[in-house]
Structure 1
Amino acid sequence: MTSHPAWRAALAGALSLSVALPALAQQPAPPPAWAQGRSSEQANSPLAPHAPRLTAVPAASIPVDAIKLPEGFRAELWASGMPGARMMARGEDGTVYVGTRSIGRVYAVKDEGGSRATRTLAQRLDQPNGVAVKDGALYVIAINRVLRYDNIAQNPNAEPVDLTQAFNLPTEAHHGWKFANFGPDGKLYMNIGVPCNVCTFDEDRHALIVRFNPDGSGREIVGKGVRNSVGFDWRPGSNVLYASNNGRDWAGNDTPEDTLHRLARPGEHHGFPYCSGNAWQDPGHTARKCSEFPAPVALLGPHTAPLGMRFYTGTMFPEAYRGRAFIARHGSWNRDAKSGFDVVTVALNEDGSQGKVEPFLTGLLDAGDNSFKGRPTDVLVMPDGSLLVSDEQNGAIYRITYQR
């Protein structure tokens, strides 16, 4: 019996597919975004991002007693029970709103005269790191959503207004978590990180500081070439914006340095992916030279992960600290000897072009066994001049005071 021509064609196709499938199966999966740029010599490196703690830490186990500060300063546990606590914003009634990443929650912490009541305001969001308050409304910025909670103090259970389409933000997850704050001009500023470790990308879409009208209209680029800023603030008296920046990984234990930048000219390019740290030229991106970009104001150490930053505007701290930038360094993962896990200050010179970095809050990193007890993530100056410091690792907020 002669086989039908159609059967022969189908059989030939099946055989060719069975030959091709093993070849397809052998194709390696692309590396995760954090591993991009890793050389073949680094392929077996044990270095990887630290896994976040997603459960509450008992107050008695939070290492507030390990914290070291300059003479006269004191740390206390201000709030706890908030797994993943990161960026902070203070409402007009004194409530402190706290964003997270991996756990997908936004917390509200209300001071009730000596004690704090903490509740979950929102949950099941995609990395709602960014929180900001304006005219009684809380803005929550996640990877793929922008939500506005109107009259949040009077209506803590109200449904939010969804502004996602108006803002039209990129939805890539890697470095897609936001820091947000309203500027002196009333506009909402936020970062848009690069969706990779190091790569070629649309420089009008990523590695930016941008600003919007509060309704999401009027997008403007404030600064380009800022790889991954998760903290910025305006210098008192000048209204000039300064931003922390996380440099690329897999270029060595001490290369490049993380940085503090001054965004003095709207739209100015600050170097990434071509240049990082202290004029370090990326060998894979040589189309532009470091001499083309403004130098950073301060070097914050290699892989220390500087995140939240604020200028100190209070009067509780000694005169020498007033006007300094306080920066939470979340701590390294892409470095054999860990660094960061602290809060530093940066004292700027008169014209704001250079800064001197000094330690402030230490004690959470044990250099002896290369381990850490906490991960400072954001800082917030309170009306009485005290300083709040969030700790993502312990789901806590510390309060720093000074007694004369």
Structure 2
Amino acid sequence: MRFPSTRLLLAVPVVAGSLALYASQTNVRVAPDPDNAGLKLPAGFGALKVAETGGKARHIAVTPQGVIYVKLNKVKDGKGILVLHSQPTGKATVTGGFGDYGGTGMYEKNGYLYASSDYNVYRYKLDAKGEVAAPAKPELLVSGLKVGSQHESKSIVLDNADNLYVNVGAYANACQEQDRTRGSKGIANCPILDSAGGIWQFKASQTNQRYANGTRYATGLRNVVGLDWNPQDNQLFVMQHGRDQLHDNWPELYTDQQSAQLPAECMYAIKKGDNAGWPYLYYDPQQKKKILGPEYGGDGKKEATGNYIDPAAAYPAHMAPDGLLFYTGTMFPAKYRNGAFIAFHGSWNRAPEPQAGYYVVFQPFKDGKPSGQWEVFADNFAGSAAKVASGRADHRPCGLAQGPDGSLYVSDDSKGTIYRIVYNAKK
């Protein structure tokens, strides 16, 4: 079904001699693709494929002028960041690239573009057109971030007080003496938490900071890929990737089915000094309790004790939440304003149960806190129910960004497709 086109008001300055791709457009009419880019969406919404980048597109940023920046997990043709300029149709063209490093993090704020490799964080000054002024000369903000054999990506976000937050994932599943090994016990006072398994805080405008100069803002977080700053209550929110292999490592305590359904993927509202409890506990969505991990003497029923925060919301297991975005636009109906969109990249380890995820969900919020049941918002990135169940998805949503008109951009790190979701019905 083809929806009526939507009208966009883009405030992009016209610069003499500039490309028409980013010239000012007033009353630009953007229509969804006839098949809504293959996506299943709520009534009134439409989608189009903005571009096919051909790279592993992780997090993305869209400037107030509408320039799209895409962070690639791996360098493609010598570039780790792609630049896309929108056409009047809403489609976009890859017009260049820069940055000789792969990675995940990408964020735009206050006239700067921030990007991360697995080791460092950089920033680039944006000019009045939303263009990076000196792509070959980024400012190095943070260097020497901890990298292990897994969970190496560094997601980033900024607050409104010149602070930069960086995820440093734990390089283990559950801090066992022998990682991911049947019956191996957990290491007491897990040493990984000294340098990983949490969120580190740095200054957003200070160059040449070393990892050792940062502040461990929060701990006990196995791995965070999706994170965002909630403007409603001025607080950091993160999505944790829950631990794996409960049955594989502890078959006497957990069935295959339990292992597929545990633990929850959790959203946490983070304040400085918070501890979410990894590796000592996990959250059981059926029991609605924090459960002591089997590596530390748990049996699937013992509750964890200690000063550990509760999740703000919980979601099905192993779906890999890789993107989080608080929606502040006005294009979508009022119910979406100040709520959160979450991109679930999709599972690999729910066998013998079907795999799950590969969609974008919406979590309603009220007064800065989750309120009400989450719902699937954009589905069928995988291509079919059979491809979801088998884990052989065509596309896997990863990054989220809000356009200056209030549309929602979604990246795909399987084939590199960039999607744009718009609302077309009368509100």
Whether TM exceeds 0.5 here: the answer is yes
Over 3 Å counting, the alpha-carbon distance change for 1:142 and 1:286 in structure 2 is farther
Secondary structure of the corresponding residue to residue 193 of structure 2: coil
- Paired residues of 1:297 and 1:354 also in contact (CA < 8 A): no
Gaps spanning 5+ residues in structure 2: where? Answer: 1-34, 176-189, 247-258, 285-289
Partner Cα distance (2:417, 2:214) in 1: 34
Q: Does residue 1:169 correspond to 2:145, yes or no?
A: yes
- Paired residues of 2:86 and 2:92 also in contact (CA < 8 A): yes
**1:345 counterpart residue number:** 362
Q: CA-to-partner distance for each residue in 1:365-398, whole Å, 9 max, x for gaps?
A: 4334524221010111112111111111121111
**1:19 counterpart residue number:** none
* Higher Cα Rg, which structure: 1
Over 3 Å counting, the alpha-carbon distance change for 1:282 and 1:368 in structure 2 is same
Q: Which moved more, 1:106-115 or 1:191-200?
A: 106-115
Q: Percent identity?
A: 30
Partner Cα distance (2:145, 2:386) in 1: 43
Partner Cα distance (2:153, 2:110) in 1: 24
Partner Cα distance (2:69, 2:335) in 1: 29
Over 3 Å counting, the alpha-carbon distance change for 1:155 and 1:163 in structure 2 is closer
- Matched ranges for 1:1-400 at <5 A: 65-103=37-75, 105-114=80-89, 115-122=91-98, 124-125=100-101, 127-151=102-126, 153=130, 158-161=135-138, 163=140, 166-199=142-175, 200-214=190-204, 215-216=206-207, 217=209, 219-251=214-246, 252-263=259-270, 265-278=271-284, 279-286=290-297, 289-290=304-305, 292-336=307-351, 337-350=354-367, 352=369, 356-365=373-382, 366-368=384-386, 370=389, 371-400=392-421
The CA deviation at 1:253 is 1.0
Q: Which has the higher strand share?
A: 2
Q: CA-to-partner distance for each residue in 1:97-125, whole Å, 9 max, x for gaps?
A: 11122446211112243342214523542
Over 3 Å counting, the alpha-carbon distance change for 1:154 and 1:103 in structure 2 is closer
Secondary structure of the corresponding residue to residue 338 of structure 2: coil
Partner Cα distance (1:212, 1:123) in 2: 22
Partner Cα distance (2:36, 2:266) in 1: 28
Partner Cα distance (2:37, 2:105) in 1: 29
Q: CA-to-partner distance for each residue in 1:140-189, whole Å, 9 max, x for gaps?
A: 2111233333346555564224527x543113352121111221112121
Over 3 Å counting, the alpha-carbon distance change for 1:227 and 1:139 in structure 2 is same
- Paired residues of 1:228 and 1:246 also in contact (CA < 8 A): yes
1:207 corresponds to which letter in structure 2?
G
What is the total number of aligned residue pairs between the two structures? 341
The CA deviation at 1:64 is 5.4
Partner Cα distance (2:281, 2:36) in 1: 38
The CA deviation at 1:135 is 4.3
Over 3 Å counting, the alpha-carbon distance change for 1:231 and 1:100 in structure 2 is same
Over 3 Å counting, the alpha-carbon distance change for 1:242 and 1:154 in structure 2 is closer
Secondary structure of the corresponding residue to residue 82 of structure 2: strand
Give the root-mean-square deviation of aligned CA atoms: 2.6
What TM-score do you get using the length of structure 1 for normalisation?
0.77
**2:187 counterpart residue number:** none
Partner Cα distance (1:120, 1:179) in 2: 23
Partner Cα distance (1:323, 1:383) in 2: 16
Partner Cα distance (2:319, 2:243) in 1: 11
Partner Cα distance (1:320, 1:362) in 2: 19
Gaps spanning 5+ residues in structure 1: where? Answer: 1-62
Secondary structure of the corresponding residue to residue 53 of structure 2: coil
- Paired residues of 1:274 and 1:290 also in contact (CA < 8 A): no
Q: Which moved more, 1:328-337 or 1:235-244?
A: 235-244
